[in-house]
């Protein structure tokens, strides 16, 4: 099959390589000319790995003409603008596979909702999210990875499953819980930043285990509040993704948190990050959910104060430790 990828960053280019490995033809669209040139010369724009068989363009019309299947791989901050441009240039029904992880803080919308808002119904085909524990750094080296393709449209979840699965290093499960998968992928980034902060501050593995355990409960609460299934948060797209993101130096979110925990100012950390740190916007979105509902998200609330209100990591930890003592609840 032919597949176009919108966004040729670390993840988009890596997934283009997966699809090419699986025998498909790919065309990557990116606004960054230097990234496009690198891809066309067999270089990954973000890693030292050689890539092969992938073409790239800065011409959106060319990418839209190439295929009816679009992989959306731009950071969620640019997603709405990107979709507006796709909508302006579309001339037939397109099917969307979103691989970006985030919730729009201004609207609290998931990517599928943004797609619904920005793409004219005439051009809007099926939609799926492909998500789970997956650092591009490992996938590009063909290291074993397992993901979930979720859609309200069963044939499309299966189609995404067969496009991306291979018997060498990538296995895809399907799910019908689109909301749970999208929300889990977004909110785990918030907890991952906190994990980095704790490590940077000098806390150890006991603290990280506690954070992952209590953090998944905050993810469950947001998933359920937004209409997803609790069980989904205990699968690949929730706890699975949280484990990898909250404990890996490959994680952009963990690394950003790590530097904040070491005392580097938040603005400097974010400005210096070459790749996108989605968790900052996830923290803002989840904090807003806290304000407008009665869900309790104590970890995310202190993370918000560290990122947006200059609270120190030391004070954030004190706030968590001095909360009222109570029985352990698992929901």
**Residues with catalytic function:** 188
Residues 123-162 that bind ligand 13P (CB under 6 A): 133-135
Decide whether 99 or 316 has the Cβ nearer to ligand NDP.
99
Strands of 69-72's sheet in order across: 55-57, 25-29, 2-6, 69-72, 94-98, 124-131, 145-150, 170-175
Q: Where are the alpha helices (DSSP H) in 202-292?
A: 205-225, 230-233, 241-246, 252-261, 266-272, 279-292
Minimum CB distance to ligand NDP, residue 36 (Å) = 9
Minimum CB distance to ligand NDP, residue 257 (Å) = 15
The C-alpha atoms of residue 320 and residue 318 are separated, in whole angstroms, by: 5
Under the binding rule (CB under 6 A), the answer on residue 12 touching ligand 13P is no
Minimum CB distance to ligand NDP, residue 195 (Å) = 16
Q: Pattern of binders to ligand 13P over 249-278, x per CB under 6 A?
A: --xxx-------------------------
SS3 percent helix, strand, coil of the chain, rounded to 5, is 55, 15, 35
In the 8-state DSSP scheme, what is residue 68?
S
Write the DSSP assignment of 22-38 as a string of letters. TT-EEEEE-S-HHHHHH
32 binds, among ligand 13P, ligand NDP, none (CB under 5 to 8 A by kind): ligand NDP
Give the 3-state secondary structure of residue 4. strand
Which residues line the annotated binding site for substrate? 101, 252-253
251 binds, among ligand NDP, ligand 13P, none (CB under 5 to 8 A by kind): ligand 13P
The C-alpha atoms of residue 259 and residue 64 are separated, in whole angstroms, by: 39
Minimum CB distance to ligand 13P, residue 245 (Å) = 4
Decide whether 151 or 313 has the Cβ nearer to ligand NDP.
151
149 binds, among ligand 13P, ligand NDP, none (CB under 5 to 8 A by kind): none
The stretch among 148-156, 176-184, 243-251, 301-309 that binds ligand 13P (CB under 6 A) is 243-251
245 binds, among ligand NDP, ligand 13P, none (CB under 5 to 8 A by kind): ligand 13P
Give the 3-state secondary structure of residue 174. strand
Using a 10 angstrom Cβ sphere, with 0-12 exposed, 13-18 middle and 19 or more buried, the burial of residue 30 is buried
Residues that bind ligand 13P (CB under 6 A): 101, 133-135, 189, 192, 241, 244-245, 251-253
């Amino acid at each position: 099959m032919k597949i176009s990828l919108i966004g040729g960053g670390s993840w988009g280019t890596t997934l283009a390589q997966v699809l090419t490995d699986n025998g498909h033809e790919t065309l990557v669209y990116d606004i960054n000319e230097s990234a496009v040139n690198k891809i066309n010369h067999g270089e990954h724009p973000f890693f030292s790995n050689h890539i092969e068989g992938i073409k790239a363009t800065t011409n959106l019309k060319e990418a839209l003409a190439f295929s009816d299947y679009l992989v959306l791989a731009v950071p969620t901050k640019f997603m709405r603008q990107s979709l507006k441009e796709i909508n302006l240039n579309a001339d037939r029904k397109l099917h969307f596979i979103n691989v970006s992880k985030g919730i729009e803080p201004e609207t609290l919308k998931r990517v599928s909702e943004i797609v619904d808002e920005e793409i004219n119904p005439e051009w809007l085909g099926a939609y799926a999210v492909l998500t789970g524990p997956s650092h591009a750094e490992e996938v590009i080296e063909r290291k074993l990875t397992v993901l979930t393709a979720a859609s309200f449209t069963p044939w499309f979840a299966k189609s995404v499953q067969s496009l991306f699965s291979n018997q060498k290093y990538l296995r895809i499960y399907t799910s019908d819980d689109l909301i749970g998968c999208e929300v889990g992928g977004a909110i785990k980034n918030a907890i991952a930043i906190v994990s980095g902060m704790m490590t940077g501050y000098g806390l150890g593995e006991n603290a990280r285990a506690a954070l992952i355990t209590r953090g998944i409960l905050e993810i469950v609460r947001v998933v359920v509040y937004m209409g997803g299934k609790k069980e989904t948060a205990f699968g690949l797209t929730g706890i699975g993704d949280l484990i990898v993101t909250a404990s890996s130096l490959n994680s952009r979110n963990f690394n950003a948190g790590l530097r904040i925990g070491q005392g580097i100012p938040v603005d400097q950390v974010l400005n210096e990050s070459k790749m996108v740190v989605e968790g900052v916007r996830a923290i803002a979105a989840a904090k807003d959910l806290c304000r407008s509902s009665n869900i309790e998200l104590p970890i995310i609330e202190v993370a918000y104060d560290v990122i947006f209100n200059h609270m120190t990591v030391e004070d954030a930890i004190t706030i968590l430790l001095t909360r009222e003592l109570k029985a352990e609840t698992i929901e």
